[in-house]
Structure 1
Amino acid sequence: MTESTGSDFDYVIVGAGAAGCVLANRLSEDPAIRVALLEAGGSDRHPFFAIPRAVPKVMGRVANLWGYPVEPEEGTGNKQEMWLRGKVIGGSTSINGLMYVRGQPADFDEIAELSSDDWDWSNIGPAYAAIEGHELGAGDTRGADGPLKISLPGADVRNDWHEAVLEAGQNMGVPEKADINTPDNDEGIGYNPRTVWKGKRQSAATAFLKPILKKRRNLTLITNAAVDTLLLEGKRATGVTLNDGREIRGREIILAAGAMASPGILERSGIGDPAVLEPLGITVRHALPAVGGNLLEHRALLMQWRTSDHRYSYNRDHKGLRLALNGIKYLLTHKGVLTSATFDMGAWVKSRPGLNRPDVQFLIAPHSLDFAKLGRTTEDFPGMSLVVYPLRPSSIGSIHITSTDPNLPPRLKPNHRDTPEDRRAMIDGVRAVRRFVSQPPLDKIVVEETVPGPSFQTDEEIIAAYDTFATCGYHAVGSCRMGKDEASVVDPELKVRGIEGLRIMDTSIMPVVPSGNTQGPTMAMAWRAGDIILRDRAKTQAPARAA
């Protein structure tokens, strides 16, 4: 069922992204539970959404994007940056770089220490196994039969460059892994798992929503439904008000709008820090000062090199006649370079001796972007690129509304590299990259570093390179932090403190950043959240009405 505005649901889920689609799938499995899934955007029918290498195209579709301007600061070189999120069914999983990185077991054990055992690896590992339909088949907590289809770069796109990357990693002391997500908290290098299947993107909507939408009469998808505020009766949430004035009511509301949007919905509803709300004329319905704080984000530096031969690079395959031929090949076979995700290879390394687990991530690709053309195409000469970032930043930023108008952007302060630990990790990460690139046989393929370039050598120059050339990692978390402490926004069962009938499940609740890209952890945590919500329902609520 789609496009209904039914008014009496058991669960109203705000946001059809990574978390929302998973929750809609889990909660609607029981036909007696009525679920509404709200999405501010519309359909993902445009063919660009399905083509893995069309990321630059979908990231240019303004109608399908939320744009969050960053307040200029020293850590961004005092320049204006924009953080983008998906405004379409599937959310950011419909526009992202398709990397499927689980994070390390220790990440979830750390989350559990800050919240409860519900979130430790003994619970999250099985959640991963449940969601995954992995090309490699079943393994230690790896799933083979789940709805989310995951593949590795195929033989049709691999070349000598890929083998050189693997050898260089091993020569640096980083072991090759058939599955880089093996849950061992150890270093590794290998082919990146991607949310790509048979040459097409597997968004959260593709995997968890579309297969069930027409089969489950108890699940209602409402698109073009941007939420303005919560409906509150005293200290209980009873529904939401949309930007166009419509109201959707439910017994329980679950915000799954993401780390950028969920805090704003709370604040516009009068839930948050009085020091933020009162100057805007918002009546404080419940003081919760941590809303919009504890924002954590990766600062990702794209480094590039000229390589010796086009045999080691996709650059010429992404332009002109070759691009046209590759497009025809893709349309006919769903194979070739257009099936590649943003980065074919990945490495998780310890930037210095003595660490108990990797602290830096490399995402590595056999292509390089032409920044003279705003990165919309590859360079004319052969090249390779690598994104590097410290995995667990400790510098805390914030995001707060500046108006009661939901169409106006919030005040976003990343506060990048505020701590000495983050600056040290950024410097050590770049030095680790350069050690990696200098290893044989990669050293024979690389001709010269072009971005940021050899002039950035000292500690101060490397930090300046981050400020000048780096971007956000699109992995923001923490703005509605989960915790067992009373100062947290949500408790370990995802309930917003002080407000009944309201939960949050999205990246905003993560108290720390998982070690890598966030789409996989968000889906796994949402799957686990389904267990918690249904467990709570069985304990505290009367049996649901028949559908």
Structure 2
Amino acid sequence: MEQFDYVIVGGGTAACVLANRLTASGRLSVLMLEAGGEPKSMWIKIPAGFTKLLNDPVYNWRFETEPEDNTLGRKIAIPRGKGLGGSSLINGMIYVHGQPEDYDHWARLGATGWSAQDVAPYFKKMETYLPGDEMRGKNGPMHIHQVSERYPLAHALLQAAAQDGQPLTNDYNGRTQEGFGYYQVAQKDGQRWSVVEGYLKPVRQRKNLTVRTGAMVTKVNVTEGVCDGVTYRTASGTFTVRAHREVILSAGAVQTPQLLELSGIGDPALLQRLGIELVCAAPRVGENYIDHFATRMNWRVKNTQTLNELAQGWRVGVAALQYFIRRKGLLTLGTGLVHGFVKTQPHMPTPDVQYFFMHASYANAAIRKLDNAPGMTIGVAGLRPTSQGSIHSKTKDPTQGPAIRPNFLATAEDRQTLIDGMKIARKIVGQPALSNYIDFEMSPGPGVQTDEQWLEFGRANGQTIYHPIGTCRMGSDAQAVVDVRLRFKGLRGLRIVDASVMPAMVSGNTQSPVMMVAERAADFILEDAAKA
């Protein structure tokens, strides 16, 4: 039987960070097992290519939520990246640290050692953002750039925000998040910069690193209370591998709890219903699921060109030529052009809503199909949702997706935040700076005025923005799944390093915080290895 010091389950964002850091000394052997394949599609490097990959089963697990009353019985897409690089292959590349208060909140919840002061050096370590001040990293593996394209409609939106009394900011990852400006994205020279580019490719040839794709882990193996390996399937058969030191689960907030349950680690009652033998009772596995829920408000515009026209017909050829010659133009765009981090109430200490502006509107937002006529969109998301759901296995079959029940908009706080965020977006668009461009509001439309109408629009049209966290929460209390060094409670030799360990939502997109968690976890793992 093969044996490695560490077996990493998954090949996504956190896994690539760990593979890099744990093999740096050359003394520790690491095996990474990824169920998907190598990132070969030409669309991966082209930022706008995310629209081609978001529904591609080769690169997306294409999970869906269970129908729930809170969202009027709709199934909502939960994209998760598949293949080396994980979701960093298919996401919108938006790069947000979150607010310092987010991590101080983690510490207050029992994640001691994860305060803003504790995590700040890791954000700095992992990034290269040259325009930033001394708070920003200058030599990290991830290249971060402010969106370079500029459009009249985006400039007008920034002016309208200022007219509404909103501050403008050039670096929301700097000293303060609040305000409007252009998004920062994980790109280099106009191309997507995934964790594969930043962390994995530079170390792929290390002799102590083994990477296997097309390898779906089906079970975490436990012997007398010690996690000592995994079983995985490939096209060639089923194999078992031993971990001399630790198994590290980095399969993400959706699949990590599912794999634990399939291995007999979870809520005893659930496992009994599934016919899975209990190995370790852990009732909170799969609980505490939190995600960002967003609505998309759309306006028909005039007197300018938008992506709706520029990305169709012969103009696509022009855009492609511009991109391949100069790495410029609309093919460098992801899911957000202009950001807004706003307070829905003046007394709030920090922003509680995030805006995503694009000079485009969608006939079908779920598949990113553009309208034929000029339009613009403002996505509205509550930053720190308090509604919690769950992710649990439905069957013993590891190829079947789990039951995802997000419980969106369950709390009055989440409902009011979304309502107020939409109202403020409408007010900003109504400012004089945009009057020459706005034709009319398409959705929700001027007929929506009361809180009840705003909420109904949200329930009927809102989507996740693909930031699942929390399903194996870390903490120092008895209900936490992992401790503050991310070691599984109840078993030795098992650690979890991915978004599932986050105890509460961060204020923004989650790729950057996941990388931070992995960087910090790598230090924990190496420190523990040195003591062994």
TM-score (norm 1): 0.94
Separation (CA, whole Å) in 2 of partners of 1:125 and 1:439: 37
Q: Provide the aligned C-alpha RMSD in A.
A: 1.5
- One-letter amino acid of the counterpart of residue 44, structure 2: F
User: Displacement of 1:455 after TM fit?
Assistant: 2.3
Q: Which residue of 1 aligns with 2:439?
A: 447
Aligned equivalent of 1:412, options 404, 414, 425: 404
Which of 353, 356, 370 aligns to 2:346? It is 353
1:293 matched residue in structure 2: 287
Which residue is 2:252 aligned to? 258
Determine the structure 1 residue equivalent to 2:127.
132
Q: How does 1:148-167 map to 2 (within 5 A)?
A: 148-154=142-148, 157-167=149-159
* Bigger mean CA deviation after superposition, 411-420 or 447-456: 447-456
Q: Does the 8 A contact of 2:352 with 2:384 survive in 1?
A: yes
| 1:53–1:459 CA distance, 2 compared to 1 (3 A) | same
SS of the residue aligned with 2:146? coil
Shift of 1:356: 1.1
* Residue of structure 1 in register with 2:26 after alignment: 31
Equivalent residues of 1:51, 1:201 under 8 A apart: yes
Of the three residues 476, 483, 486, the one matched with 2:468 is: 476
Could you tell me which runs of 5 or more consecutive residues in structure 1 were left unpaired when the two chains were aligned: 1-5, 542-547
Unaligned runs of 5+ in 2: none
Match of 2:203 in 1: 212
Structure 2 contact 354–380 (Cα < 8 Å) conserved: yes
For 1:280 and 1:287, locate their aligned partners in 2 and report how far apart those are by CA, in whole Å: 15
For residue 237 of structure 1, what is the amino acid of its counterpart? C
Corresponding letter in the other structure for 1:496: F
Counterpart residue identity of residue 262, structure 1? T
1:135–1:302 CA distance, 2 compared to 1 (3 A): farther
Contact 1:304–1:386 (Cα < 8 Å) also in 2: yes
- The CA distance in 1 between the partners of 2:56 and 2:367, in whole Å, is 15
What is residue 106 of structure 2 aligned with on the other side? 111
State the Cα deviation string for residues 16-46 of structure 1 (Å, max 9, x = none).
1111111111111110011111111101121
Q: For residues 212-235 of structure 1, give each alpha carbon's deviation from its aligned partner in whole angstroms, at most 9, with x where no partner exists.
A: 112x11111111111111011121
| Equivalent position SS for 2:479 | coil
Matched, 1:194 2:185: yes
Aligned residue identity for 1:236: V
CA distance in 2, matches of 1:331, 1:115: 49
AA partner of residue 34 (structure 1)? S
Note the C-alpha offset of 1:362.
0.3
Equivalent residue of 1:112, what SS? Answer: helix
| CA distance, structure 2, for counterparts of residue 168 and residue 9 of structure 1 | 57
Cross-structure match for 2:261: 267
Q: CA deviation at 1:103?
A: 0.5
What residue is the counterpart of 2:89 in the other structure?
94
CA contact 1:452–1:469 (8 Å) conserved in 2 = no
Letter in 2 for 1:328: L
**Partner residue of 1:222?**
212
The residue that corresponds to 2:514 in the other structure is 522
Contact 1:140-1:182 within 8 A present in 2 as well: no
CA deviation after TM superposition for structure 1 residue 417, in Å: 0.8
The alignment partner of 1:119 has SS state of coil
Mapped partners of 1:471, 1:301: distance in 2: 6
Identical-residue share of aligned pairs (%): 40
Looking at structure 1, the residues matched to 179 and 527 of structure 2 have their Cα atoms a distance apart, in angstroms, of 37
Q: Aligned residue for 2:4?
A: 9
What is the alpha-carbon distance in structure 2 between the residues aligned to residue 293 and residue 494 of structure 1? 17
Q: In the alignment, what sits opposite 2:326? A: 333
Distance between the aligned counterparts of 2:527 and 2:308, measured in 1? 51
Q: How does 1:316-327 map to 2 (within 5 A)?
A: 316-327=309-320
Does the 8 Å contact 1:115/1:491 carry over to 2? no
- 2:273 matched residue in structure 1: 279
Q: Which residue of 2 aligns with 1:422?
A: 414
Matched length:
528
Distance 1:145 1:222, change over 3 A: same
- TM-score w.r.t. structure 2 length? 0.96
The one of 233, 241, 250 aligned to 2:223 = 233
**Once structures 1 and 2 are overlaid, which stretch shifts more, 447-456 or 348-357?**
447-456
Q: Which residue of 1 aligns with 2:240?
A: 247
